[in-house]
Amino acid sequence: MAAAAISRVAMAALPEPVTQNSPATMPPLVPNTGRPYNPVVTLNGWTLPWRMNQGVKEFHLVAEPVVREMAPGFKAHLWGYNGQSPGPTIEVVEGDRVRIFVTNKLPEHTSIHWHGQRLPNGMDGVSGLTQPSIKPGKTFVYEFEARRPGTFMYHPHADEMTQMAMGMMGMWVTHPKARHPLIDDVQRDFCFLLSGYDIDPGSYTPKIMTMLDFNIWSWNSRVFPGIDSFNVRLNDKVRFRIGNLTMTNHPIHLHGHEFMVTGTDGGPTPKSARWLEVTTDIAVGQMRQLEFVADEEGDWAMHCHKSHHTMNAMGHNVPTMIGVDHSGLTRKITRLIPDYMVMGERGMADMAEMEMELPVNTAPMMTGQGPFGSVEMGGMFSMVKVRKDQKPGDYSDPGWYAHPPGTIASPIDVANAPPIVAAPVTPAVGESQGSGVEVRVQRPGSHKH
């Protein structure tokens, strides 16, 4: 039998599938078998345990319908793996031989494509092209060597539109087997996937035919305020591995620090091709690896910079009402409908503050209580909490940042403020300081000497 062929004996006993029911961020899974590595932390997720079988790392993924809490009070009926959407992160080491059993408990066939991996063609998971689809109730086995270190993804390559719109995806991290010139050691290594859904307020199942108009923009199938913060110690080197399996690009923005993109799904980026940024666009099907030293204390926002992606389910047909005076109309309507309410006359911030009754299963459009009031965010928004006293390896939420006195933007008492001093006059371009000379354009040839 060829070395690359799957051992029929090994297949005889399937490893017990492990299931996770909590959407909480699980602590890193420190390896107790196989080669050592520094594990990642999956945002509002977990790493799949494995068993060693004669030198092969064996995992068991179960494709199945799941109920995912996307935020407190908002549950979605998705499809995922081993109890959650996204599925568990798979962590291996460069050079590991990996065997993954995939059991299909969905009502239709599926397959798994190992996005970004070097592997034998027949292990690539493209239903119909490289393998027959995995029919409901059946188990397939994939086996290959994790040939290069990096961050990868997994997702079905069978009825993709439906299965990815339903949340079937996961991350895969291959750690380097030794010190790698382009892969730095970090103290905190976070990973998560960007995923988008179209779930009407009050309903539970995503609309799978949606092409563009998604209304739920999530990180690992969670939306703010349901997304955990990234809690780190001051001066930690921090890495984010972010994969995009939505249907549009997401410019991911970090406050208070600059980062470098140190890797893509193609592997580590050469040092000469790295530059500092505070926002990096992650296109569909891409992975970006961001690294920075968290050397500024505080609660730093981190979010998608498309402002509609930091909101939860909303009616897209709401007209822009800024500057419209409804007072006369409202009075007339209130006579007929006592609860009538006008929205958006001064902007949409009121939406976050008013206690409007929501349908039973949804998340408010913009919400999240911060220490100073409503954060007016939703969707793809979280925080990096940098603290001096966060213990190494402690990922728990340290609470709100206590700002040193005098370091918070604050209101001033305009009435009792010193008199306004006129700003110094700045000469316009073409004017010399205070001369008041007007510049005239002369037509060529009209010079007189």
Size, binding site for Cu ion by CB under 5 A: 4
Rounded to a whole number of angstroms, the minimum distance from the CB of residue 239 to Cu ion is 21
- Binding of residue 309 to Cu ion (CB under 5 A): yes
Give dist(CA 181, CA 36) in Å, integer: 18
Contacts of 117 (CB under 8 A, 6+ apart): 144, 146, 147, 152, 172
The phi and psi torsions of 112 (rounded to 5 degrees) equal -125, 125
Number of other residues whose CB lies within 10 A of the CB of residue 380: 27
Rounded to a whole number of angstroms, the minimum distance from the CB of residue 184 to Cu ion is 27
Residue 247 or residue 333: which is nearer to Cu ion going by CB?
247
Number of other residues whose CB lies within 10 A of the CB of residue 300: 20
Token pair, residue 238, equals 């921090």
Interface region with Cu ion, contact rule CB under 5 A, candidates 57-65, 112-120, 236-244, 300-308: 300-308
- Binding of residue 138 to Cu ion (CB under 5 A): no
Query: Looking at beta carbons, which pairs linking 277-280 to residues 24 or more positions away fall under 8 Å?
Result: 278/253, 278/254, 279/251, 279/252, 279/253, 279/254, 279/305, 280/251, 280/252
Which residues make beta-bridge pairs with 91?
173
Q: Residue for token digits 């961001």?
A: 290
Burial group, residue 272, by CB count within 10 angstroms (0-12, 13-18, 19+): exposed
Which of residues 109, 188, 250, 288 is near Cu ion by CB under 5 A? 250
Rounded to a whole number of angstroms, the minimum distance from the CB of residue 81 to Cu ion is 24
Give dist(CA 282, CA 216) in Å, integer: 18
- Say if residues 76 and 70 touch (Cβ distance below 8 Å): yes
- Binding of residue 306 to Cu ion (CB under 5 A): yes
Rounded to a whole number of angstroms, the minimum distance from the CB of residue 208 to Cu ion is 20
Residue 251 or residue 256: which is nearer to Cu ion going by CB?
251
Interface region with Cu ion, contact rule CB under 5 A, candidates 152-160, 168-176, 243-251, 384-392: 243-251
Residue 199 or residue 294: which is nearer to Cu ion going by CB?
199
Rounded to a whole number of angstroms, the minimum distance from the CB of residue 78 to Cu ion is 19
Residue 35 or residue 306: which is nearer to Cu ion going by CB?
306
- Binding of residue 303 to Cu ion (CB under 5 A): no
- Say if residues 152 and 265 touch (Cβ distance below 8 Å): yes
Interface region with Cu ion, contact rule CB under 5 A, candidates 5-13, 77-85, 146-154, 297-305: 297-305
Give dist(CA 152, CA 340) in Å, integer: 50
Residue 216 or residue 384: which is nearer to Cu ion going by CB?
216
- Binding of residue 247 to Cu ion (CB under 5 A): no
Rounded to a whole number of angstroms, the minimum distance from the CB of residue 172 to Cu ion is 23
Rounded to a whole number of angstroms, the minimum distance from the CB of residue 309 to Cu ion is 3
Residue 308 or residue 331: which is nearer to Cu ion going by CB?
308
Interface region with Cu ion, contact rule CB under 5 A, candidates 162-170, 248-256, 368-376, 440-448: 248-256
Interface region with Cu ion, contact rule CB under 5 A, candidates 15-23, 101-109, 309-317, 323-331: 309-317
Cα-to-chain-centroid distance, residue 88: 15
**Rounded to the nearest 5 degrees, what angle is found at the Cα of 286, between the Cα atoms of 284 and 290?**
125
Residue 304 or residue 365: which is nearer to Cu ion going by CB?
304
Interface region with Cu ion, contact rule CB under 5 A, candidates 28-36, 226-234, 236-244, 245-253: 245-253
Which of residues 100, 242, 290, 304 is near Cu ion by CB under 5 A? 304
How do the residues of the chain divide into helix, strand and coil, expressed in percent and rounded to 5? Answer: 10, 35, 60
Closest CA to 381 of 145, 191, 161, 222: 222
Pairing of strands 230-233, 381-387: parallel
Residue 66 or residue 191: which is nearer to Cu ion going by CB?
191
Residue 164 or residue 304: which is nearer to Cu ion going by CB?
304
Rounded to a whole number of angstroms, the minimum distance from the CB of residue 367 to Cu ion is 18
Residue 165 or residue 304: which is nearer to Cu ion going by CB?
304
**Rounded to the nearest 5 degrees, what angle is found at the Cα of 410, between the Cα atoms of 406 and 416?**
105
Rounded to a whole number of angstroms, the minimum distance from the CB of residue 196 to Cu ion is 8
Interface region with Cu ion, contact rule CB under 5 A, candidates 136-144, 293-301, 305-313, 330-338: 305-313
Annotate 133-163 with b (16+ C-beta within 10 A) or e (fewer). Answer: bbeeeeebbbbbbbebbbbbbbbbbbbbebb
**Interface ranges with Cu ion (CB under 5 A):** 250, 304, 306, 309
